[in-house]
Amino acid sequence: MYERGVHVRTIVSRESEWNHEQQAWLLALAVYREGLCRRCGGELHETSSEALNPDNRWSGTHIYKSKPPKRCHRCTALMASEKAFHATDKDGEYITHHPGALIHQVEKVERRRRG
pLDDT tens for each residue of the chain, 115 residues long: 666 777 777 888 888 788 999 999 999 999 999 999 999 899 999 989 888 888 888 888 888 888 898 999 999 999 988 887 776 667 766 666 777 777 878 888 877 877 6
| pTM for the structure as a whole | 0.48
pLDDT at residue 29 in the model: 97
Q: Quote the CA–CA distance of 29 and 31 in Å, as a whole number.
A: 5
Q: Give the number of domains in the chain.
A: 2
Report pLDDT for 94: 64
- Residues 81 and 86: their CA atoms lie apart, in Å, by 9
The domain in which residue 32 lies consists of 20-52
Q: What is the pLDDT of residue 95?
A: 66
Handedness of CA 32, 38, 41, 45 (dihedral sign): negative
Q: Is residue 9 part of a domain?
A: no
Q: Is residue 96 part of a domain?
A: yes
Which residues, in sequence order, are CB contacts of 98 under 8 Å at separation 6+?
Answer: none
For 32, half-sphere exposure in the C-beta direction (CA atoms, 13 angstrom radius) is: 6
Give, for 82, the enclosing helix (H) or strand (E): helix 73-85
Predicted local confidence at residue 115, as pLDDT: 66
